[in-house]
Structure 1
Amino acid sequence: MTTVNDIDIQALADTKSAVQANPLAGQATFSLSGSWNGGCRLDAQTGVLTAGGERDETRVARYTLSSDEPVALLGSDTAVSPAEYLLQALAGCYTVTLAAHAASRGIELGGFRLDLEGDVDLRGFLGTDPTVRPGLQQIRVRLHVDAPNTTRGQVEELVALVEKHSPIRDTLVNPVQVVTTLA
């Protein structure tokens, strides 16, 4: 098995070929269930992954995620805030996308670090100004990439690929349908 950046190159190529041959193989549905824990607190657990139209029963791990808000934002600061989870989701997706695309191009990474910031204007959340969106106004990502045998231009091309192919970034920059129902 040949790996670059701890990515199995053959598995990556096989996955790409399988999805090209059968687009259904590239469809995945993630799930999560959460329960309110008083105040601004939520405890959630990951659920079943459906991949290629099949429930993935081999994924036995269930992860618990807790969220809260900082005291300054009405919470009790007992867990990560939802905004920090959003930044983590983007950072994690950038990591997957950067490592995989670098590996597929034979670019060996010595390491990389991400610094993220997101700005929110609470007037939108609180409903005090109808012209202000309740969501984050801007997210800034600063990548520090160590790719010793790669030119700055190649790293810039890699970052452009990350921006183009990151599913979480795409979700953030393009409208996505969110359907809310009452059970």
Structure 2
Amino acid sequence: MKRYQTTTRKTATKLQVDAHSRGNHYTIDEPKNAGGANTGMNPVELELSTLGASLEATAAKLAPEKNFHYDQLTIKLEGDMDPRGFMGDPDIRNGFQEIRVAMTFKTAASQDACQQFVEAVKQESPILDNLTNGISIVVDGVVLD
């Protein structure tokens, strides 16, 4: 089993967070109207982007295997989240209520062939699997530094 790791650390700038993986650095932040400095995507935008990136990578991997040819794939993702859940309302889920994905192909393939390919991509995307089926998350505890 392969293990992936990321480290995050809050910066001194409002709600900004630095994330590091494999020597890559990402800035995560909230928009100004939410108290951030607007220096990067916020966590839920990043979640949508991660799903889109996973679907894109999965499609690129599967296309040769499925003999499906396309010139370009554009994925538009939208998620609905009621902020009252995040603000503590116990009757509202603290997360997305729904995520919608629209996949637009530039291809000579038929609509049916595209739909069949999308079904294969949906079955293989690890991030879609995590979001659809859930995953066990273990918080190991608190360490003082």
Q: Does 1:45 align with 2:20?
A: yes
Instruction: Kindly state the Cα deviation for residue 151 of structure 1 after the two structures are TM-superposed.
Output: 1.9
Deviations 1:62-102 (A, max 9, x none): 10011111122222212111111111110110001111112
2:62 corresponds to which letter in structure 1? H
1:164 corresponds to which letter in structure 2? Q
Q: Please, which runs of 5 or more residues in structure 1 have no aligned partner?
A: 1-26, 48-61
- Per the alignment, in what secondary structure is the counterpart of residue 127 of structure 2? helix
TM-score w.r.t. the length of structure 1 is 0.73
Cα pair 1:31 1:46 within 8 Å, conserved: yes
1:170 corresponds to which letter in structure 2? D
Q: Does 1:63 align with 2:24?
A: yes
Deviations 1:18-41 (A, max 9, x none): xxxxxxxxx221101111113311
Question: 1:145 aligns to what?
Answer: 105
Aligned partner of 1:102 among 57, 63, 72: 63
| Mapping of residues 1-183 of structure 1, within 5 Å | 27-38=1-12, 39-47=14-22, 62-127=23-88, 129-148=89-108, 150-180=109-139, 181-183=141-143
Instruction: Kindly state the Cα deviation for residue 123 of structure 1 after the two structures are TM-superposed.
Output: 0.9
User: Is the radius of gyration larger for structure 1 or structure 2?
Assistant: 1
Structure 1 vs Structure 2: percent identity of aligned residues? 28
Alpha-carbon RMSD: 1.2
- Per the alignment, in what secondary structure is the counterpart of residue 95 of structure 1? helix
1:165 corresponds to which letter in structure 2? E
Cα pair 1:87 1:118 within 8 Å, conserved: yes
1:73 corresponds to which letter in structure 2? A
- Per the alignment, in what secondary structure is the counterpart of residue 29 of structure 1? coil
Cα pair 2:66 2:117 within 8 Å, conserved: no
